[in-house]
Amino acid sequence: MTPVPLIFAAVSDIAGKVRGKAFPADQLDRRLLRGLGWTPTNVQITCFDRIAETPFGALGDLLMIPDPEAAAKVSFADGHTEHFMMSDITTLDGAPWDFCMRSLLRTALERLHDVAGVHLICAFEHEFQVKSRPAPANQAYSREGFELQRNLCETLMAALKSAGLVPDSIMKEYGPGQYEAVVAPAKGLRAADQAVILRELTRSAARSLGEEATFTPIRDIASVGNGVHVHMSFVDDDDMPVTHDENGPCGMSALTDAFAAGILKYLPHIVALTAPSVISYARLTPHRWSAAYNNLGFRDREASLRVCPVTARDPASIARQFNIEYRAADAAASPYLALAAIVHAGTQGIVDGLRAPAPTEEDLSLLSAEDLHARGFVRLPETLERALDAFAADPVVTGWFPAPFAAVYRAHKTAEIAHLADMDTPARCAAYEDTY
């Protein structure tokens, strides 16, 4: 008996999980046209496998349409092959479904293009922790800590390459057993596809070596979190970079300035979508190099939005390398949904002609609430409940999404919160570590 090679048609959902169905690889042509059946209520399966209140019940049918441009096929040294293809979810008539995260991102990117005539170039920088063996102490950024997982790092880089990503770098991060993987930027939707592929292949590469990797937002609140940092720049229709202006504030072009201003203005209202777990808010606290205020930083790793340094010297390379980095995201969020929210917020800033505030160069946690307010800063929501309230409360923000989206999202997250109600913080961290 010869095993039948299967392709897994995958979607990334509200829970930030990758779910789907497999089909025999020799049916690919048919599946690209006709898809695979999918169920609306699946979008209400939380990251803890509970079904939240659902407007769909047992009713309705959808299609998953695999996208061959978003495929990963990797053969690991232990002899097994993984093959998956990110998919769109459509109605039976072929229209994008309101809760297809990929389609939500496509809409946001089209809006950016309609408004500003530009395309997003983006790279997700991911932190994760190896949890299978007790992490050796005192190995922040160390060579020894890196060598302990050289095999995993090299296996992961090979897996990413065979999935068509361009590995940039990998390092031993600060936290216990924490590593950070970076790939080259990609255009629009492809960047979010790559983020899903990277997360899935990191877990797979670890498993193939008898290890386990987690992208959970934070494992231990006495330590640092695992961030997802989203680097963004823009090109015009002729692929010319339009992010940088040497005379602009912090080197930002007028377009980047307005985009950044939109993100900062709407940040408290979108963080429920970019840092969507209960424990995400233990990570988004001062002095963890994550993000706690809606501030702009010039090369400052405590800012929610950072203007990154460039290493290039010549003007053309500087213009292409220059980018801004959104730091208030984690891997409990679907990369499609997180990026859709960020792009809409930035685009709104362009529509409204906003200007970014001056960058901060101080510890904002030392300011009183009045001083923060007087200077136009807010502490980001400190719990998922408050973040959900802030999302629901802003009709501009909910208006970026299909009409039923905000209520369904809230119901989903309410069930996730309820699952954790009787747990203390370490138990909550453990629960998320099991799922991400």
Residues that bind ligand GLU (CB under 6 A): 127, 224-225, 227, 283, 288-290, 301, 327
- Closer to Mg ion by Cβ: residue 175 or 188: 175
Least Å from the CB of residue 127 to ligand GLU: 5
Phi-psi category of residue 164: left, alpha or beta, with phi > 0 → left and psi -120 to 50 → alpha? left
Least Å from the CB of residue 139 to ligand GLU: 15
CB 110 within 8 A of CB 116: no
- Closer to ligand GLU by Cβ: residue 106 or 306: 306
Paired strand residues for 128: 179
Q: Which of 312, 311, 294 is nearest to 359 (CA)?
A: 294
Least Å from the CB of residue 248 to ligand GLU: 24
The DSSP-derived string for 24-70 is EGGGHHHHHHH-EEE-GGGGGB-TTSPBPP-SSTT---EEEEEEEEE
- Closer to ligand GLU by Cβ: residue 227 or 349: 227
> Is residue 302 at the binding interface for Mg ion, with CB under 5 A as the rule?
no
- Closer to ligand GLU by Cβ: residue 217 or 241: 217
Least Å from the CB of residue 174 to Mg ion: 7
- Taking CB within 5 to 8 Å according to partner kind, which of ligand GLU, Mg ion, none is near residue 289? ligand GLU
- Taking CB within 5 to 8 Å according to partner kind, which of Mg ion, ligand GLU, none is near residue 301? ligand GLU
Residue 41 is classified by DSSP as G
> Is residue 330 at the binding interface for Mg ion, with CB under 5 A as the rule?
no
Of the candidate residues 180, 193, 257, 416, the single one contacting Mg ion (CB under 5 A): 180
Q: Which of 346, 381, 418, 408 is nearest to 13 (CA)?
A: 408
The DSSP-derived string for 216-257 is -SBS-TTS-B--EEEEEEEEETTS-B-SB-TTSGGGB-HHHH
- Closer to Mg ion by Cβ: residue 180 or 300: 180
Task: Tell me the residue number closest to ligand GLU, measured at CB.
Answer: 227
- Taking CB within 5 to 8 Å according to partner kind, which of ligand GLU, Mg ion, none is near residue 193? none
Size of site (CB under 5 A) for Mg ion: 1
> Is residue 325 at the binding interface for Mg ion, with CB under 5 A as the rule?
no
Least Å from the CB of residue 327 to ligand GLU: 6
Alpha-carbon gap, residue 146 to 421, rounded angstroms: 38
Phi, psi of 224 (to 5 degrees): -90, 165
Residue 299 is classified by DSSP as S
Sign of CA dihedral 174, 358, 328, 124: negative
- Closer to Mg ion by Cβ: residue 180 or 433: 180
- Closer to ligand GLU by Cβ: residue 289 or 298: 289
The residue written with tokens 């293809």 in the block is: 85
CB 260 within 8 A of CB 356: yes
Binding site for Mg ion (CB under 5 A): 180
